[in-house]
Structure 1
Amino acid sequence: MAGIVYLVGAGPGNYKLLTLRGKEVLSRAEVVIYDHLADSRLLKFAPAEAEFIYAGKKAQQHTLTQEEINSLLIRKAKENKTVVRLKGGDPFVFGRGGEEAHSLSAAHILFEIVPGITSAIAVPAYAGIPVTERGTASSFAVVTGHESPDKTTSSIRWEKLSTAVDTLIFLMGVKNLSYITEKLIANGRAPETPAALIRWGTKAEQKTLITTLENASCTAKRYDLKPPAIFLVGSVVNFNKQISWFENKPLFGETILITRTSVPASDLTDLLEDQGARCIELPTIQIMEPADAYASLQTAICHIDSYDWIVFTSINGVHAFFTQLKKQHRDSRALGHAKFAVIGAATKTALSQYGITADIIPGRYCAEELVEVMRPHIKKDCRILIPRARDARPYLPEQLSKIAAVVDVAEAYRTTAAVENKSKLIALLQSKTVTMITFTSSSTVENLILLLGEQKSLLSDITLACIGPITASTCRAYGLAPIITADTYTMDGLAKKIKEWKWVTHEV
């Protein structure tokens, strides 16, 4: 029995504009065949064990021919696989989805079309240009900017198209821009008609150039405009002045390097991207199992009944502890006698996932504040367990030892430099595209310095943003001058402080 193929429109560029149906079918894909214009983060919606095949096509650069892609879809479906063909935009708007559907139909393969938001309407919207507007434009047309090279004559009826439609939207037309503008003007479109060129629309890299029909080609050359971009002609372009919104976001134009590990990094990325920033996640640390292979943590869990307090200082510590608890065939019920203290709202949330509410969380998310808040609640005969990273600051156990009978530190994980990211990190900084780097712990600073080695000078012109004073102090210890330090030591607090800094320094 053959499987099924889903021809899925990935949307115009911003991965969050994928449809719910698209995300649903991706979540059960066994094979994903994806295009150049599909954001790589879309692939995270598919199971990690799925087979991923790149079939991208740029101008003059085809990884696979269309015929090879058609054959690949059929072959994988005949292996009884659930196949997702992920295509930029909408599969049926210059996406050659019709050709793929014909091939599947001819091979008697079950398939489904999952429409996507086409860049023809989404990209202008992100540039503050409505393709229709009452009193200005009551019609629009979407036109290919590069017809098939096999055609001997154009199938575009320029003499009709040029003046019959209020708004003209050309997709994939950068290379043929001179030809397009000449045809439109020659067939009656006014040379002074407002026009827009929009590159990487809906993404943080978006660039909008406002011009006129007669000057469009010169404008593209002056700014060295490269695909992917759309070309829009019509009076609606004038609305860009009043309702441009995406490129007016507070952090638009900032390229921010996120140095934390994946899940917490994604939380910060979402917050910053919502404000218009382009974020690049490149962890400088990786979380590893402790050097003692959890021996000290397992020993502590064996004697868990003896502890009055359990203190967590990070999400990683929480998850490592409960993973080892489960391996001893125990769960949260074994902890009913203990009280819990945590540093940070994220750590509190992680603990709650195991059915436990923290008894203490300090107002300021640092060890110094936690000690002071815990002090009235700790008796001389208290026993305290702290599952945490091997190289964490000694302040917390040292200070708690002064007011409790026993403080045991169990190594729950360790952080090491993400050496596999070294070459990419250096190349990125050398490219001068990064405008800001965020640090969410001292270890992210220490390991960035380790990865850079003698090339620390690459940081000289980059704004450094720290989650709190301890991390900022670590920066200074390495001769770095952090510009931004969050007042509230959370991802939300850091994102808020970055936004405030941009407002003050750049008068957004």
Structure 2
Amino acid sequence: MSFPDPSAPASRAFVSLIGAGPGDPGLITVRGVEALSRADVVLFDYLANPELLRHCPDAETIYVGKKGFSEYISQEQINALIVAKAREGGGRRVARLKGGDVFVFGRGGEEAEACVAAGVPFEVVPGVTSAIAAPAYAGIPVTHRESARSFAVLTGNTKEGGAHYERLSGVDTLVLLMGVRNLDGIAADLIASGRSPDTPAATVQWGTTPQQRVATGTLATIARAVREAGLEAPAVTVVGEVARLRDTLRWFDAGSGFGGPLAGRSVAVTRTRDGASALSEVLRARGANVLEVPLIRFAEVPDDSPVEDALHDFGGWLLLTSNQAVKSLFSFLERRGLDARALARMKIAAVGPSTARSLAERGLRADFVPSTPGAVHLGAELPARPGDVALHLTSQVAEDDLARELEARGLRYERAELYRTEPARPGEHALNRLRAADVVTLASGSAARHLAALAGIDLTVAAMGPQTADAARRAGFTRVTVAETATLEALADAAAWAVAGRGEGLGEREG
């Protein structure tokens, strides 16, 4: 099978069978990300980290997860859905995102056969298998020159048939997938086939993720150790002398920074549909399990002539209160065949350092940034005199706080709609994970309102600043923690305070 031409029309029916890796979203391959970014439809399963969906923000996403023996959708139904979606609308690009590697106990071969039978072209994008990655993150190499020159990967799912353990007597390391429920029987069968009961063993649950947990023992004791530790699927079990190396080589779960209040906790990061969240990387570095949820999207206004009229011969203060305002302003200038020189007669005020940085990236230095980020502070501190004109370029849902502050000082406030803020509804699977999150971060009042409308108000939230926190409280949220400063690190701190149950005190200091 030849690789597809990336320049081919997206409407051509094509299926990419993509290995999503073992759980850490950073372990997907570059080719996997490329295939996701071109997809019209994405079918993802239980073991594919939903964070990977940020690489395909405009695709239709369908959850086809199966967990253990409680399947709610059969493999045959998944096969049929892949083909149907590929044929839909005259041909679409389908990405089938599968945990681990496509062809390592992932039933990817059956899905490929379904494509062949239907005459739908496809590609296979291999992924990092949990059979190697989970032990590696637990400090266990599956091979070692002194103790393991071979390894075998087996299914522990008895529904898949017997493993013929007696044939594996010469294999140094055994790696068992999907075997945590049957570990007692598997261990007994291995001992009966000739393995020593004293053979070292380890079981790794949710390997490569902040939720990773490990139980160790011997072949005779590992099943009991797993029960006592409360480990469940998904888990990988390693049997062999290499399991002894965990005590020496453990690195991910000991001393890697995954030990603070966010370690293993679920944090939902609300963002725009087309945005990428640098906050997510800050949270992941602290060990959080991050879910990025697009709540709003930005769109062009149907008629931008009011903006053109407002800017024509304008010489007062131009107020920009978001990164999107900066982006939309320069898009407007480009459509008109203009550049930053068109703003030469104006003084430009940015609502905070982030917006000021967006201006600087485009070659403009803000004439004024308030000492504390926020529209209220901008209105109170703007170095203007009564009678001066301030033009606010914003969306249709801008708060009135800025206008009230300026008008109370005798300034003339004008506003023009530069872009539109619209809701972006996540899928049901994402909404269910959002509602189950330990804390949800909010960077704007509009995000707070959309969150309340989509997921309800029975959530713990961390807000970027007092203005966003006030908007969250007006929307009905009662568990609100406020970041001490308008920085990503401070917002991550607020999320940590919230999950530790100390958010109310922090909020009081800020409120």
Structure 1 and Structure 2 fold alike (TM over 0.5) = yes
Q: Which residue of 2 aligns with 1:256?
A: 267
| Cα 1:448/1:57, change in 2 over 3 Å | closer
Aligned equivalents of 2:462, 2:408: Cα separation in 1: 34
Aligned equivalents of 1:387, 1:185: Cα separation in 2: 73
| Cα 1:435/1:68, change in 2 over 3 Å | closer
Aligned equivalents of 2:87, 2:318: Cα separation in 1: 52
| Cα 1:325/1:73, change in 2 over 3 Å | same
Aligned equivalents of 1:269, 1:298: Cα separation in 2: 37
Q: Which residue of 1 aligns with 2:506?
A: none
Q: Which residue of 2 aligns with 1:486?
A: 483
Bigger mean CA offset, 331-340 vs 117-126: 331-340
Match of 2:128 among 100, 114, 117: 117
> Is the CA contact 2:82–2:96 (under 8 Å) kept in the aligned structure 1?
no
Cα deviations by residue, 1:45-70 (Å, 9 ceiling, x for unpaired):
3473x565655544442634359728
TM-score computed with the length of structure 1 as normaliser: 0.75
Instruction: State the AA in 1 paired with 2:39.
Output: A
> Is the CA contact 2:464–2:487 (under 8 Å) kept in the aligned structure 1?
yes
Match of 2:439 among 433, 436, 456: 436
Do structure 1's residue 360 and structure 2's residue 334 form an aligned pair?
no
Do structure 1's residue 232 and structure 2's residue 238 form an aligned pair?
yes
> Is the CA contact 1:5–1:82 (under 8 Å) kept in the aligned structure 2?
yes
Do structure 1's residue 274 and structure 2's residue 249 form an aligned pair?
no
Q: Which residue of 2 aligns with 1:341?
A: 349
Q: 3-state DSSP class of the match of 2:277?
A: helix
Q: 3-state DSSP class of the match of 1:346?
A: helix
Match of 2:156 among 128, 131, 145: 145
Bigger mean CA offset, 442-451 vs 107-116: 442-451
Q: Which residue of 2 aligns with 1:173?
A: 179
Shift of residue 181 of structure 1?
0.9
Q: 3-state DSSP class of the match of 2:195?
A: coil
CA RMSD of superposed structures (Å): 4.7
> Is the CA contact 1:8–1:114 (under 8 Å) kept in the aligned structure 2?
yes
Aligned equivalents of 2:479, 2:96: Cα separation in 1: 47
Do structure 1's residue 6 and structure 2's residue 9 form an aligned pair?
no
Shift of residue 37 of structure 1?
2.6
Q: 3-state DSSP class of the match of 2:104?
A: coil
Q: Which residue of 1 aligns with 2:509?
A: none
Aligned equivalents of 2:116, 2:455: Cα separation in 1: 54
| Cα 1:82/1:494, change in 2 over 3 Å | closer
Q: 3-state DSSP class of the match of 2:181?
A: coil
Aligned equivalents of 1:4, 1:428: Cα separation in 2: 31
Instruction: State the AA in 2 paired with 1:268.
Output: L
Aligned equivalents of 1:326, 1:383: Cα separation in 2: 25
> Is the CA contact 1:294–1:411 (under 8 Å) kept in the aligned structure 2?
no
Q: Which residue of 2 aligns with 1:302?
A: 309
Aligned equivalents of 2:401, 2:292: Cα separation in 1: 30
Cα deviations by residue, 1:75-110 (Å, 9 ceiling, x for unpaired):
947966555443321122223334555666688765
Instruction: Calculate percent identity across the aligned residue pairs.
Output: 37
Do structure 1's residue 188 and structure 2's residue 194 form an aligned pair?
yes
Q: Which residue of 1 aligns with 2:33?
A: 23
Match of 1:465 among 462, 469, 477: 462
Bigger mean CA offset, 187-196 vs 120-129: 187-196
Match of 2:413 among 395, 401, 407: 407
> Is the CA contact 1:199–1:226 (under 8 Å) kept in the aligned structure 2?
yes
Shift of residue 400 of structure 1?
4.4
Unaligned 5+ segments in structure 1 are none
Instruction: State the AA in 1 paired with 2:220.
Output: E
| Cα 1:404/1:71, change in 2 over 3 Å | closer
TM-score computed with the length of structure 2 as normaliser: 0.74
Q: 3-state DSSP class of the match of 1:306?
A: coil
Aligned equivalents of 2:315, 2:14: Cα separation in 1: 55
Bigger mean CA offset, 98-107 vs 331-340: 98-107
Shift of residue 466 of structure 1?
3.4
Aligned equivalents of 2:437, 2:39: Cα separation in 1: 35
Q: 3-state DSSP class of the match of 1:303?
A: helix
> Is the CA contact 2:307–2:417 (under 8 Å) kept in the aligned structure 1?
no
Cα deviations by residue, 1:269-307 (Å, 9 ceiling, x for unpaired):
332123211234457x656889xx888x85353031223
Q: Which residue of 2 aligns with 1:87?
A: 98
Shift of residue 367 of structure 1?
4.3
Q: 3-state DSSP class of the match of 1:175?
A: helix
Do structure 1's residue 314 and structure 2's residue 322 form an aligned pair?
yes
> Is the CA contact 2:390–2:412 (under 8 Å) kept in the aligned structure 1?
yes
Shift of residue 217 of structure 1?
2.9
Aligned equivalents of 2:431, 2:57: Cα separation in 1: 28
| Cα 1:472/1:138, change in 2 over 3 Å | same
Aligned equivalents of 2:424, 2:40: Cα separation in 1: 30
Shift of residue 18 of structure 1?
1.3
| Cα 1:33/1:427, change in 2 over 3 Å | closer
Aligned equivalents of 1:367, 1:102: Cα separation in 2: 58
> Is the CA contact 2:439–2:495 (under 8 Å) kept in the aligned structure 1?
no
How many residues in Structure 1 have an aligned counterpart in Structure 2? 483
Shift of residue 188 of structure 1?
3.0
> Is the CA contact 2:33–2:55 (under 8 Å) kept in the aligned structure 1?
yes
Bigger mean CA offset, 486-495 vs 350-359: 350-359
> Is the CA contact 1:289–1:412 (under 8 Å) kept in the aligned structure 2?
no
Shift of residue 252 of structure 1?
1.1
Unaligned 5+ segments in structure 2 are 1-7, 503-511
Q: Which residue of 2 aligns with 1:132?
A: 143
Q: Which residue of 1 aligns with 2:389?
A: 383
Shift of residue 72 of structure 1?
5.2
Aligned equivalents of 1:417, 1:47: Cα separation in 2: 14
Do structure 1's residue 208 and structure 2's residue 211 form an aligned pair?
no
Cα deviations by residue, 1:126-146 (Å, 9 ceiling, x for unpaired):
333332345454433211222
